[in-house]
Amino acid sequence: MSQMVFAHRSRPTPRAAAIDRRSVLRALLTTGVAASLPACDGVSVSTTDPRLLPAALAERYVRLTQALALHQPSLVEAWLGPAPTSPAGPRRPVAALRAETTALLADVSMTKAATDAASNSTVGRKAGAASQETTRLRYLEGQVRALDAAAARLLGESSTFAVQAARTFGYAAPSRDAAALDRLRADLAALLPGAGTLAERHAAFRRAAAVPADRVDAVFAAAVDWCRRAAAGHLPLPAGETLTTRAEDTTGWAAFSRPTGPRASELWVARRGGADAAHLLQLAAHEGTPGHHAQHVLASAALVEGRGWPERALHPGFGPHRLVAEGAAEAGAALLLPEDVRIRVLADAFEIVRRKHAGAELLVVGDGPEAAVLSGRAGITHIPFQTNLAGVWSRIDVAVTPSVEPDPFPRAVIEAMSYGKPVVAAATGGIPEAIAHEETGLLVEPASVEDLAAALTRFLDAPELVARMGTAGRRRCEQRYSVQTQQTALDRIYQTVIGGSSPGRLIRH
């Protein structure tokens, strides 16, 4: 049956551009760990002053940071180095500490300039890479500049936001386009239901979708576990690393990661933070793996244990370190959870299918930038999101749902079954509960191009499966997902909770 038509219904939401997730994810985490580690030692600069050696500069930075943290504890999130490095005795005056940070910044900048000059010399260029010292000094210079700015604030000095951003993060803040922001607010206002101000409607929308407080612990733990498994093939972590989750009744933050050892972290989530399931999954990726937990254990293994850099045993709450770490964690989460992956997996699998069945067709229905992914692919047609799907379902033989992230209730799967279409879908989230494998459809490994291609080819090789599984799927849909069935099931739940009511009497139409 070489003319069989497959269909995938995609969600009408934006998707990231197609990229090599494995290489980019590793590059981002490397950036978060060490701002691009070199491949060789390159060149170094000798000095007669031991205080100007990178190791000595790093020790001075650690001690000064800990001393200033006695005045502002938020400067240090965690210190995992040897205890003797911690300052002892009473707090020293901020003015004296400011003088030391200013002197340290001058020393780091001078040593970095000399190292840069050596790296750019003929000998340095022949070495083929920036030295480890250059990488280390670049990190120290940015952090010490930010520490000097923190000392200045403690002394009461003030400056503009742009100056603070440049000193604290090495970042030039872009100017805001007020008209563009107004257009975005107008777009959001058109989408959000209800009455009231935009802020009130947004808050109400979030509350309506929030995971109940008593379920946050379980949902977040499951999300963390899924992210760890999903990232394992892209980002191997050091042996013995551990990650635990904890929840707290608070509304001051959504989630955070706290290093508790060289290869261990705690992830905290707010039970009453108002996050929905999708946000909890994003937080799990951002704070855990491939986010901050991965950054921490990789840096600890490579830079603290491997190279003896004490400054990376210090987890600062300031400086370019924070900006890079947050950006890498956010980008890592986006790469781990891209919505366009299912489209690329499906398109790649379909190419394999057409090598044997050149007449097979794939219809992708939905809005978003799939056209860039599907452009030029033989046998694939992309049409916009449809409000009337009856005409679409009449054109296809088999539905395909190649999800890569957990889908708690796959509505597209239920729709396909209601139209008597067998379904090929990834065995993730709630999909295995909806599809009876080998009875109403075929379940495949999530994100596996080979598994998906093999399942699609089975229907082409044995077209009688289409009618048999399609009929079974429609019957299953009627038995499990009809309005009457769902109403009866919901009534039973209410009976269990309040007792004494008969089916069909609790719901009114």
Q: Specify the length of the chain in residues.
A: 509
| Angle of the 277-287 helix axis to the 213-232 helix axis, nearest 10 | 50
pLDDT of residue 340: 62
pLDDT of residue 508: 36
pLDDT at 122 over 60: no
Cα 245 to chain centroid distance, Å, stands at: 17
Instruction: Give the predicted TM-score (pTM) of the model.
Output: 0.64
Which of 372 and 22 is assigned the larger pLDDT? 372
**Cβ of 3: how many Cβ atoms within 10 Å?**
11
Q: Which long-range contacts (CB under 8 A, 24 or more apart) does 85-89 make?
A: 85/59, 85/310, 87/63
pLDDT of residue 509: 34
Q: Which of 365, 295, 414 is nearest to 25 (CA)?
A: 295
Q: Which long-range contacts (CB under 8 A, 24 or more apart) does 404-411 make?
A: 404/230, 404/341, 404/342, 404/345, 404/428, 404/446, 404/447, 405/226, 405/281, 405/337, 405/429, 406/226, 406/281, 406/430, 407/431, 408/277, 409/434, 410/434
What are the tens digits of pLDDT across the range 266-320?
999 998 878 887 788 889 999 999 999 999 999 999 999 999 999 999 999 999 9
Identify the burial level of 306 via C-beta atoms within 10 angstroms of its C-beta, where 0-12 means exposed, 13-18 middle and 19 or more buried.
exposed
What are the tens digits of pLDDT across the range 389-447?
788 888 889 999 887 666 666 788 999 999 999 999 988 778 888 999 999 999 988 77
- Ordered by where they begin, the domains of the chain are 5-16+339-495 (3.40.50.2000), 21-169 (no CATH), 179-294+330-335 (no CATH)
